[in-house]
Amino acid sequence: MSTEVRSGVSSRRRPPGSPMGRLRYGVMLGLVLLGLGLLVGRVVTLHVVDRPFLKGQGDARTLRTDSLPAHRGMIADRHGEPLAISTPVVTLWANPQDVPEDPIQRVQLASALDMDLEALNERLARYAEREFMYLRRQLTPEAAQRVLDLRVPGVYRQDEYKRYYPAGEVAAQLLGVTNVDDKGQEGLELAYQPYLAGTPGRRRVLKDRRGRLVRDLEVLRPAKPGGELTLAIDQRLQYMAYRELKAAVAEHDADGGVVVMLDARTGEVLAMANQPSYNPNNRAGLDPQGLRNRAIVDPYEPGSVVKPLAMAAMLDAGGLSPNTVVDTSPGWMRIDRFTIRDFRNYGDLDLPSILIKSSNIGMSKLALRFDEPIVPQLYRRLGFGQAPGTGFPGESTGEVPAPVRWSSSQWAALAYGYGLSVTPLQLASAYTAIANEGRLLPPSLLRLDEPVAGEPVISPEVARRVLDMMDQVVEPGTGARRAEVPGYRVAGKTGTVRKTNASGYQKNAYRGFFVGIAPVSNPRIVMAVMIDHPRGDSYYGGAVAAPVFSSVAGSALRLLDVPPDQHDVAETE
């Protein structure tokens, strides 16, 4: 029976070479080959036919072009010391849709950002429909890394630069500031924005679907850093000028003040200090008044400090000499409808004495001797009523009245410093003509590679005569004696002017001025000082502004290694 069973089973098998076996084998082989063919075809389609489309779709989801921030150019003083530099910072931003709602992560994130949790949640909710929001701007790299180390989804970094000012409040108004996007907003930062800013670059990067950087691929365009700006400012002189000015403003409880120091040989601005000021590195609680560069943008009625310039105009016109005598009795006079007064009756005065006594009567009578408006004409040649051309934003032209408005009283007033307005920079610049034998030097905020020749505005002989008269003004026993600098001869002039408001001149509000040149034997610096509304009994220019000149000029001359005047050395020996 077993034999029959085995025989039955055997009878149901088909030999390999049978037609049915070969058919089955062929079908299976065909299916395998078909599958392989379809697979190869699909591979070919993906890698050849659809490759451009698929690559474009993949790149659209992962390939990004990022901006490379450009390093803002440095601003330096004339010796290369940095006054404004850009430091790397990190801005943290988030995609609110990716930030998890996990309370623990939210608490950790708020703590690392130094934010209130409620405020963070409120901001995330407000920007919930957007894909971008700032978390913190301009963090230090270390502080930003502490946040990134939390690995909170949806939080990313952006590299930027932040402006830093090593001198702080000392040169704030001159340099100006940049905004949070590192763009100039005030001062030289604004004036030279295109030059300092540079050109951002571009790079291609690979990012994952969450926007995280996977790999830098290539730099499409390298960032071009901004140009470096070298100022005429000497940081050492700037510190000294600011320190003395701040002390004087505090001592006299004044509203503010200005110091402008020029190189008497080139016209370069060696120092320009303003009060009040502010710290550009920390602008919390900033007083807008501190932003103003009063030395350039605010014109003032100068008063007696322009008397040497008016004297130069009259000497240059001819018919006068230093020995010319003017009767100033009885100490007052009427011109048109106005009464002009001196401090007291000085009687007969020669020209140097008119400057020493600061006689308004003497200057008025001299001006009225001439048929031509020679004084305002010289003022215009000296740059009054015109922009100084420094390029500083908002620089003032000041004002000199138009000829059609001139009357006898106006001619007289212009000679003793009323009826016109000038900035402290214009005032200091005008005195370069006295210091340079009649050649006016245009002021420059940038360091000059080559000194300019200057423009002749008065004769060299007249310039020397006026300088000698101003030398006599700053002597023991005079109102300007506090401007003396031990070891050096100083030429200068004081001025005290009543402030004005909408109703006219104020009774108890003054500005004190002093303009000086030192040393007389070989002028090296020209300096203008203004103290605005000093309170108390000491409000005259000789009492509030002259001491500032003395302190700053003495330190500056020693720092610049200027030898003492020869006659002083001989007298000492």
Among all residues, which ones are annotated catalytic? 304
d(CA 247, CA 244): 5
Q: 320-352 in b/e burial notation, b at 16+ Cβ within 10 A?
A: beeebebebeebebebeeeebebeeebeebbbb
Contact criterion met (CB below 8 Å) for 229 and 75: yes
Spatial contact of 102 and 117, defined as CB atoms under 8 Å apart: no
Q: Give whole-number Cα distances, 439 to 232, 271, 381, 442, in Å.
A: 20, 21, 11, 10
In 115-171, the DSSP E strands lie at 133-139, 155-164
Identify whether the C-beta of residue 159 lies closer than 8 Å to the C-beta of residue 265.
no
Q: Measure the CA angle with vertex 221, ends 215 and 224; round to 5°.
A: 115
Distance (Å, rounded) from C-alpha 345 to C-alpha 363?
14
Length in residues, the chain: 573
- Of 165, 162, 161, 181, the closest CA to residue 173 belongs to 165
Nearest alpha carbon to residue 280 among 165, 162, 179:
165
What is the distance between the alpha carbons of residues 58 and 69, in angstroms, rounded to a whole number?
27
Residue 514 in contact with residue 495, Cβ under 8 Å? Answer: yes
DSSP letters spanning 42-110: HHHIIIIISHHHHHHHHHHHHEEEEEEPPPPPPEE-TTS-EEEEEEEEEEEEE-TTTS---HHHHHHHH
Closest by Cα among 384, 449, 386, 394 to 188: 394
Instruction: Say which DSSP state 284 is in.
Output: T
Please give the structure tokens belonging to residue 570: 């001989």
Cis preceding linkage at 523, omega within 30: no
Contact between 345 and 328 (Cβ < 8 Å): yes
- Evaluate the omega torsion of the peptide bond into residue 276 and state whether it is cis, within 30 degrees of 0: yes
